[in-house]
Structure 1
Amino acid sequence: MEISKAMHSPARWVEAETPVGEVAKMMALEDIGAIPVGHDDRLIGMVTDRDIVSRVIAKGLDPAKTTAEQAMTKGIVYCSTHETIEDAVHLMDQKQIRRLPVLDDKKRLVGMLSLGDISHAVPRSMSGELLHAVSAHHA
């Protein structure tokens, strides 16, 4: 099955200078746990709810003054609309990630693919293996 049939869209993203407080409000409003970050029309990272807690709140930084770029996980791992769910599962397993931005042929963000999306699209055994792989304890 192609990723485009399992992903959820549209996907939101924020500019690098967006205050983390605004990012958190977007996450709460849309009930999502990650938002890609862009700069100069390119994705440069991802802010997760965990990033906000560990890189902003736990360090006592002001969410109104801390930017998405300062809080994000740098680099972006993504998949393309024409790839298969199996390709995405392999990538998520290999990179130990739970969400993938989905880009079209023009490198435009068109959706997000999460563990939940995958669990509804593939056999339980495959989604279970992926969940186990990305939920391994950190050393």
Structure 2
Amino acid sequence: MNIEKAMHKGAKWVSPDTPVSEVAALMRKDDIGSVPVGDGDRLVGMITDRDLVLRALPDGADPKALKARDVMTRGIVYCRTDQSIEDAIHLMEDRKIRRLPVINDKKRLVGMLSLGDVSHHASRKLSGELMHAVASPHERAGAQAKL
């Protein structure tokens, strides 16, 4: 199956100058966990709910003054509509990411592929492998697990 059949169509993006509060409001309104960031017609970043919490809040910055560019993850990983869902799963596993922007042959954002989409359109085995890869606990230097 190709990605176009599994993805959520019609992904929205925000500009790098969009206030973080608007990004958070969009996430709440659309019940989504990530928003692509585009500059002109280029995908330049991604903001996840985790980015908002870890980059906008802990250092005492005023969230009202922050823009998308201040908290976004740069270096976008994406997939294409004509790729197979298996290709996307392997990319998500390798990069340990849960959501992929999907672009078409004209390099335009046309959708998003999420872990949930994969679970509904791929085999249990592939879905399980992906879940295991992206949900593995993070290792921290010097940290020991406590039972």
Could you tell me the TM-score, scaled by structure 2's length?
A: 0.92
Q: Which has the larger radius of gyration?
A: 2
**Equivalences, count:** 139
Shift of 1:44: 0.8
Are 1:47 and 2:41 counterparts? no
Give, as a single letter, the amino acid of the residue that structure 1 aligns with 2:116: G
Q: Percent identity?
A: 59
Which residues of structure 2 form unaligned runs of 5+? Answer: 140-147
2:65 is aligned with what amino acid?
K
**Paired letter, 1:130:** L
Give the C-alpha shift of residue 63 in structure 1: 2.2
* SS of match in other structure, 2:9: coil
Q: Residues 29-48 of structure 1 correspond to what in structure 2 (within 5 A)?
A: 29-48=29-48
**AA matched with 2:101:** P
Cα distance, 1:17 vs structure 2:
0.5
Q: Residue deviations 1:53-94, cap 9 Å, x none?
A: 000012222222101111011110000000000000000001
Does the aligned pair in 1 maintain the 2:41–2:108 contact within 8 Å? no
- The runs of at least 4 aligned residues of structure 1 exceeding 4 Å deviation read none
Q: Which letter does structure 2 place at the counterpart of 1:111?
A: G
Shift of 1:33: 0.3
- Counterpart of 1:57? 57
User: What code does the residue aligned with 2:120 have?
Assistant: H
Q: What amino acid is aligned across from residue 112 of structure 1 in structure 2?
A: M
| RMSD (Å) for aligned C-alpha atoms | 0.8
2:24 is the counterpart of 1:24: yes
* 1:5 aligned partner: 5
> Could you tell me the TM-score, scaled by structure 1's length?
0.97
